[in-house]
Amino acid sequence: MRRRNLLAVLGVTAAGGAATAYRVSQRDSDENGGTGDDQNESDGNGDDESGSEESSDESADDEQADDLEERLEGSEGMLVFTYDDSPIEDYTLTYQVHKEYDVPGCVAACPGWMQDDGGGEYLSPDQLREMYDDGWGVMSHTYYHRALGEIELTETAQEGDDRIYVEANRHADIEEDPLVIFDDENRATATVAGGGSDSTGEYVELAEPLEETIDASGHVRYPEEFMQDILDDTDAQLEEWGLTVVGFVYTYTRYHGLIEDLVRDHYDAVANHRFGGGHNEIDGLDPTTMQRQYIETDRATEEEIEEFMQTAAEDDVLSIVGGHSQFETITEERLEYTIETALEHDLAIVTMEEALTELGHL
């Protein structure tokens, strides 16, 4: 039995505060005598069934709210765990460790990768739904992990060029994607044909030569409508799988330019708007500009995680941590240490949806 479960069973105090165990979301109430989808199917049909389903949904919502209130009672603050890219390790590693401590996390999912996966590298929709039904949150991480923020040019792109040099060639990932290349005076459209690097730097190959010269002070991004479609399609696919999407995580932390406004209009929260320490002040909080702290072993020492959790408990903040389950720098030991340290400081580990609900932003 893990330390936190033992504390909950004994009802003892950790780090000077009340120990409270996370109880799984009432979304899985059918396993505990509730009225989940499978049970509803066997209850008959007609108007009475519809009324019963509505009543059950309301009851589940009430119980979930009560559960959150119970977990927050006596806590010193709230902490959200976010994991990017929806790799299979979210299920085989991270989810299993979180279950041992009865605490949730959030998956920033790429449904396109999940859907197209033929080698078992990513979560299946059923696995993500299982995690969701067990109290986990789901966030958007774009459909195919495209970098939606604008990226700087590093060289002037001359009229007739079929290659643009950029600070990072993230837009070269998917051929035939549309691009907008612009500076303060000129604007050109293009189509991705590939990418690479040479002695000059990283570049994006274009399907056709440029029709305008764009100064080296310019940028490249996707067209506005294309980015809006990506956000819409990502949510639509996740919702088709029966998941509620609350919040967004930028890919490659590329948040610059027009996409900031599009994401702010589309989502209630962003976990990684800019680089920062992961402590988001509750007073005057704008959930679409929040920051997080990475917990991977190459980004934080145990001492730094201890300091992070201490500040999270002492200050009036919503704290967010993040990582990539598929990286070698996210180990079982690192996950256990991070969760245990949070609980020792009496932090309530919650989903993004639960945090926003508690703070009145949902």
Q: CATH number for the domain including 246?
A: 3.20.20.370
97 and 209 in a single domain? The answer is: no
The alpha carbon of residue 7 and the mean position of all alpha carbons in its chain are separated, in whole angstroms, by 29
Which of 196, 221, 246 terminates a domain? The answer is 221
CA angle, 215 then 218 then 223, to 5°: 125
Strand order from edge to edge, sheet including 178-182 = 151-152, 219-221, 178-182, 187-197, 202-206, 163-166
32 occurs within a structural domain: no
CB 319 within 8 A of CB 347: yes
140 and 155 in a single domain? The answer is: no
What is the number of structural domains in the chain? 2
Which of 195, 221, 247 terminates a domain? The answer is 221
Tell me, what amino acid is at 55? S
Tell me, what amino acid is at 229? D
289 and 187 in a single domain? The answer is: no
Which of 169, 200, 221 terminates a domain? The answer is 221
| Structural domain that includes position 192 | 151-221
- Between 22 and 110, the more confident residue is 110
98 occurs within a structural domain: yes
pLDDT tens-digit map of 239-252 = 999 999 999 999 99
For the chain, counts of helices (H) and of strands (E): 12, 16
Using a 10 angstrom Cβ sphere, with 0-12 exposed, 13-18 middle and 19 or more buried, the burial of residue 210 is buried
317 occurs within a structural domain: yes
Mean pLDDT of the chain: 87
> Three-class SS of residue 220?
strand
Q: What is the DSSP letter of 135?
A: T
181 and 292 in a single domain? The answer is: no
Confidence of residue 52 (pLDDT cuts 50, 70, 90): low
51 occurs within a structural domain: no
- Between 9 and 344, the more confident residue is 344
Q: What is the pLDDT of residue 187?
A: 98
CB 294 within 8 A of CB 252: no
137 and 200 in a single domain? The answer is: no
